[in-house]
Amino acid sequence: MYIRKPYIFVAKKTSILLPMFLFIILSYGVVANEYQPAEPVLSYSLANQLIVIDPGHGGFDPGAWRGELMEKNITLSISKKLQQHLSQAGAIVVMLREEDKDLAGEQFKGSLKERKRQDLKARVDEANRLKADLYISIHTNADPSPRWFGAQTFYNARSEESKIMAECVQDELTRILGNTKRKAKPGSYYIIDKTKMPAVIVEVGFLSHPTEAKLLNDPAYQNKVAYAVFSGVVNYQASQMEPADKSDKKIVTGSDIAK
């Protein structure tokens, strides 16, 4: 999880959510670790959208850990699965890292605290340089107490678009994972405060919870998490579209996406 900092990002207010009949989202069942698509999904809302995925931590920074399980590895694995879902739906996806490294730069010299600061700044700077449409940061949570569990999505309280996206993602995490009742929550974190596009941090679960830690290390469950985030992003993008944007769009079926 990123260190809280008192940065403020002001974004314009968005329009009221359009009716959910603008699209049909996939319903998933788990049979022999495979997702069974029930209905086609109108995923044209993602076509040509530039989406930055930020796999949390990396390199010198392992993030949270439990035994041999490290946050940086889990976030990268889930991010790659999310990348696949988004790309198959027509989005242009940029991964801020695709291996175990940080973004501070190989030539950087300084304290670990300063390297961490430079790493976070580099992530934000790259997303802003690309003028991305959306920013999704993947993390795992941890707490001294092993009782806490459940995925949760965070957003900048001053960005209405980020709030709507976080709520859409959280709704799908709740629906698809079936093991969290948490709600989308505002938070003050550097990356979602300084990015200039709708941005969310998705804490996919607690490594400090024994059962959830095992799930987060399971590739099938990781894909389930990735699909839930993808599904939420589809919902968000569809809600932002004007009625005129819905014509002449390709319908992508569940069999095209759920693999």
Q: Is residue 254 part of a domain?
A: no
Q: Is residue 59 part of a domain?
A: yes
CATH code assigned at 215: 3.40.630.40
Going by pLDDT thresholds of 50, 70 and 90, the confidence category of residue 246 is low
Q: Is residue 48 part of a domain?
A: yes
Q: Is residue 167 part of a domain?
A: yes
Q: Is residue 214 part of a domain?
A: yes
Report the chain's mean pLDDT, rounded to a whole number: 82
Residue 27 has pLDDT above 80, yes or no: no
Which of 167, 216, 155, 184 is CA-nearest to residue 11?
A: 155
Name the E strands within 1-126. Answer: 30-31, 34-35, 50-55, 65-66, 69-70, 92-95
212 vs 238 pLDDT, higher one:
212
Which pLDDT tens digit goes with each residue over 114-133?
999 999 999 999 999 999 99
Q: Is residue 250 part of a domain?
A: no
Q: Is residue 174 part of a domain?
A: yes
Rounded Cα distance between 218 and 222, Å, is: 6
Average pLDDT over residues 48-65: 96
pLDDT of residue 42: 52
Phi, psi torsion values for 47, nearest 5 degrees: -55, 125
Q: Can you give the residue range of the structural domain that contains 82? A: 20-244
Which pLDDT tens digit goes with each residue over 132-157?
999 999 999 999 999 999 999 999 99
The structural domain count of the chain equals 1
The share of the chain scoring above pLDDT 70, in percent, equals: 75
Q: Is residue 12 part of a domain?
A: no
Contacts of 107 (CB under 8 A, 6+ apart): none
Rounded Cα distance between 129 and 140, Å, is: 26
pLDDT of residue 77: 99
